[in-house]
Chain A
């Protein structure tokens, strides 16, 4: 993940954050511009709704802006930013639980889709839809690990849980996706982890 300078500003992320705390009016904006594409992707994948993602990203950036003085440097700035964005997304997802997610993130940048087969496009849409139906914590872990390709250790730092918990959430999320996508049918009508929490998961969730 990028942590160094981008464009014309030679300062790295930590220097930008420190400059912001010291009153540089442009430093935080530069920091956000440097990482906003990746943060946007996380927000959009996690929430599955363009407007919610935009609101969550804005909430998160303002929170980070105000809380910058509290950054202690025990993680990368990008990890810290991701943590704030993911928390904003999870908060928003919890608040809207009564409202079914609608997969509206057919990316505005998908003219490339016009050159792909209808089957491929349909598959993408169905997967995006299924992602929005996962429990929020599983969705966040899967987005960061499987879609954004972040190392499990970094995802653990972002989510503030043990690495085993990240792996468990991913495993359960994938199994649930398998059912949602029709690759796997649960003859009992039960969905993975919908009601049963095996001992291993309880240990992982509580053993941070």
Chain B
């Protein structure tokens, strides 16, 4: 029990699950609930919240079958492992080999946050007017704690894509490396749109990420990822971060002037309800 007698969510959670039944701690919580309105209010709030959590977990649904490339790795590893108890040769796919599907998955995650369908979001738009790219750009894998990617994907809305009138076949999830064919190596990072050239400088990128961080909240942690991509056909750096204390992920699409006195915000979604 908390020394200051304020409601303790973890203790109340155990009480709500019946884990304290017949224990001195359970009796003490019961007494507090009967005597202290703060505890009874916290308990009512908690039980409602736990119901929402259970419903949310139930809504997650199944993961689905093991991806073909993972299954292939397992088969290959076991096929070369020798007999039980023997030292195994371990075929391991290097980290970079799976960057492409990881990036596609990350893009899909962001697409989901932005509130439109994954398939629509995973369209590429090679005919978009901003396809010119920065030649020979080599981006760092990370800047501080932030994963830096260049998927070239268009995170724009379905409506925005329709407006562009430049239909392109969906990349399809198999193109994200989930079919049985081996992914290409090295990973096909997309070129950085020319309009975003300024942000390929680490100093400019860092200034941009700091500006975004300041916009979201001074106490927010470093962005998790920054993707050189497009939003509704417009070159954009798409940034994912989680602001405390609510801890909900936010996605911001920013333009090339991000960090140069402002954020150059194109779109923002998610965050504290």
User: B53: CB under 8 A from chain A?
Assistant: yes
Complex contact B105–A100 (CB within 8 A) = no
Residue of B nearest to A21 (CB): B84
Please tell me which one of the listed residues A40, A178, A200 contacts residue B25 in the complex, with CB atoms under 8 A apart.
A200
**Contact A106 B112, CB 8 Å, known A174-B53, A178-B53:** yes
Stretch at the interface among B1-9, B124-132, B198-206, B252-260: B1-9
> Could you tell me the distance in whole angstroms from the C-beta of A114 to the nearest C-beta in chain B?
4
Complex contact B54–A164 (CB within 8 A) = no
Stretch at the interface among B14-22, B160-168, B187-195, B230-238: B14-22
User: A122: CB under 8 A from chain B?
Assistant: yes
Complex contact A108–B176 (CB within 8 A) = yes
Complex contact A174–B54 (CB within 8 A) = yes
Which residues of B (85-124) have their CB < 8 Å from a CB of A? 85-86, 88, 90, 92-93, 95, 98, 101-102, 105-106, 108-109, 112-113, 115-120
Complex contact A178–B52 (CB within 8 A) = yes
Complex contact B84–A68 (CB within 8 A) = yes
Residues of B near A69 (CB, < 8 A) are 84-85
**Cβ proximity bits A28-65 to B, threshold 8 Å, 1 near / 0 not:** 11001100110111001100001101110110011001
Residues of A near B79 (CB, < 8 A) are 29
Size bracket, chain A contacts: 35 or more
Complex contact A105–B105 (CB within 8 A) = yes
Complex contact B70–A61 (CB within 8 A) = no
Size bracket, chain B contacts: 35 or more
Complex contact A174–B50 (CB within 8 A) = yes
CA A69 to CA B83, docked complex, whole Å: 11
Complex contact A100–B9 (CB within 8 A) = no
Residue of A nearest to B63 (CB): A41
Residue of A nearest to B179 (CB): A108
Complex contact A107–B247 (CB within 8 A) = no
Residues of A near B272 (CB, < 8 A) are 182
CA A100 to CA B144, docked complex, whole Å: 12
Complex contact A189–B224 (CB within 8 A) = no
Residues of A near B115 (CB, < 8 A) are 118-119, 122
Complex contact B173–A198 (CB within 8 A) = no
Complex contact B78–A65 (CB within 8 A) = yes
Please tell me which one of the listed residues B9, B20, B93 contacts residue A179 in the complex, with CB atoms under 8 A apart.
B9
> Could you tell me the distance in whole angstroms from the C-beta of B257 to the nearest C-beta in chain A?
27
Please tell me which one of the listed residues B48, B57, B84, B178 contacts residue A142 in the complex, with CB atoms under 8 A apart.
B57
Complex contact A184–B84 (CB within 8 A) = no
Residues of B near A182 (CB, < 8 A) are 246-248, 272-273
> Could you tell me the distance in whole angstroms from the C-beta of A96 to the nearest C-beta in chain B?
12
Residues of A near B112 (CB, < 8 A) are 106, 113, 118, 121-122, 124-125
Q: Using a CB–CB distance below 8 Å, which chain B residues touch chain A?
A: 1-2, 6, 8-14, 16-17, 19-20, 23, 25-26, 45-46, 48-50, 52-54, 56-67, 69-71, 73-75, 77-79, 81, 83-86, 88, 90, 92-93, 95, 98, 101-102, 105-106, 108-109, 112-113, 115-120, 145, 147, 173, 176-178, 221, 224-225, 240, 242, 245-249, 270, 272-273
Can you list 7 residue pairs at the A/B interface with Cβ under 8 Å? A21-B84, A54-B73, A66-B81, A69-B84, A113-B118, A174-B54, A200-B25
